[in-house]
Every structure is written in structure tokens, then in C-alpha cells.
Amino acid sequence: MWTTPSHETHVVIGSRICGFYNREIDELIDKSLETDAAEKGSSQLLIPTSSLGGSLVIYNAPSERGHDAGRISCSTLLSQARLVLERFDERGLCYYILHHYLDKLLNILMGQVLHLYSKHKNDEDAFNRALQELVSNLSEVIRRGYETEASVFRALELVVDRGLIDLYRDSWEVLTTLEELFWGYKKGTRSGKEAVVLAAWSDCLESLKTEDDWRLARQIVDESKRVREKLVENARQVLCVLLSRRGVDAYLRRKFHRLFSEKTIWALQKALNCL
């Protein structure tokens, strides 16, 4: 688990990617009202999978969750995005989405470092080989990471772009789509990601009630794609800012001390030409 980037980091990268930043938007995302799930009530949802011989059980997320609520709850995403657009127009929406994406970028990066290290772990110089592969293919690594990010942004994109409206009628199509999306992940990781997207997807279907909701959803999806592509195009510079302004969480230091020591982070900065 990573601590989130500082607001100063969001300002630096927001100025580069969106040409805009706003502390009120940072506060909106980082200090959303936290509601107890039991008090709010999480509804159980059964998705029939007759071809698999049973049902997949998922739970709808509460509409309001603490930090990064808009990345977890579709209803919160829609209400916050509408507020941001009213107050700060399209540049504000860009910055709002960018904040959410930046909060996940280092998780994506370090997840890929672990994956590549595991791939080369039997080699004598495993870490350096993993770094070389990461740096040489950085744009695709980041693009793939965001495309397989289990979040409301991804679920909303599936609803809007693929027209997967009827959860029960299209349940087999949805499961097939998610299997394709998360192909290559280990079974446990894949199942977890699929469950998160399915829960967010059902939340989105319940939240999109009016034509205005659908127009807003389309605008969010289009802007999120633009932000992702800008992050891919500027991946090296953005990562250098993040790596220079954040340390490695203590948990990762203990569990993967060889990979996430200060020396390792320095090596990663050097490989990315940050120094």
C-alpha cells in the first residue's frame, strides 16, 4: 500500500498535463465523507453463470467511501464530476481525473517491477534485467497498467463504450470481456479485479438514470482516455516527479527489501534518466 502523492506533486503534474490545478479539487478527492458500509447498507448481487454451474456473488460498494471515493463509487464519481465541471469547466475535470490516476501510477509501476523481477528471478542479474525491460517498454507498461486498472473509471468505460446495459442478459458476455481484459494475471489477482469491476459496473448501471447522467458519463470516459494517453506520452517525466517526491512504504520495504530499498529506487531513477 502506498501513501498518496502530496498536493504539491499533483500541482506540478497537473500543470504539465492539464495546464491547470486546484487545491479544492484535491481536497474534494482526499477528504470525501466517509460512511460506514454497514450503516449505509451494501446490497448483495447474484450474477447467474449457468455455463459455469452457479452464480457469482458480488457486493455493491456504498455510494460514499473515504479517500478516492470517486474511483470506488460510480454515484460519487458522477456527483463530484458534475460539481467540478460546474465550478472549474473541462480543465477542472481533467485535473480531477488526473488526481485519481496519479494516486495509482506508482502502484502500477511497482506492480510491473515485481512482475518483471519474478520473470527474471533465476537470472544472475535479475533486477537490472527487469529494469532494462521496464524502461525500454515503459509506455506500453503504463498503458497496460491503466487499461487493466480495476476501478469505476474502467467499469464506466465498459458501460458507455460497449453498451453492456443489461447485467443479467449479458452476464456471460461481461464475464468473457473481463477474462479477456485481465488475461495474463494470476487466477487470484484476476478474480479480484473482475469482482471489483463487476461491482462498480452494477453501481454505474444503477446510477445512470437520466440522459444528463449518460452525457456526463460519456464526457468522463472521453476525458479519462485523454488523461491516460497524456500520462503514457509523458510517463518518464511524470514518474521522475513521483519518484523524487515519494519514498517507499514501510510494508514494501519489509516484504520486498531487495526490490524497494533506497538503492533500488535510486537505480530506477537512474534508469529513467531522472538524475
Q: What percent of the chain has pLDDT over 70?
A: 75
Is 220 a member of any domain?
yes
Is 1 a member of any domain?
no
Q: Is it the case that residue 106 has pLDDT exceeding 70? A: yes
Is 45 a member of any domain?
yes
Which residues 6+ apart lie within 8 Å of 6 measured at CB?
Answer: 245, 246
Mean pLDDT to the nearest integer, 83-101: 95
Is 62 a member of any domain?
yes
Is 2 a member of any domain?
no
The per-residue pLDDT for range 178-207, each reduced to its tens digit, is 777 787 777 887 888 888 888 888 888 888
Number of domains in the chain: 1
Is 234 a member of any domain?
yes
> Counting Cβ atoms within 10 Å, is residue 83 exposed (0-12), middle (13-18) or buried (19+)?
middle
Say what the pTM is. Answer: 0.79
The per-residue pLDDT for range 108-126, each reduced to its tens digit, is 877 777 778 888 888 888 8
Is 242 a member of any domain?
yes
The per-residue pLDDT for range 208-257, each reduced to its tens digit, is 889 999 999 999 999 999 999 999 999 999 988 887 765 555 555 666 66
Domain hosting 225: range is 7-271
**Whether the Cβ atoms of residue 86 and residue 97 lie closer than 8 Å to each other:** no
Is 85 a member of any domain?
yes
Mean pLDDT to the nearest integer, 53-64: 40
Determine the Cα–Cα distance for residues 209 and 71; give it in Å rounded to an integer: 19
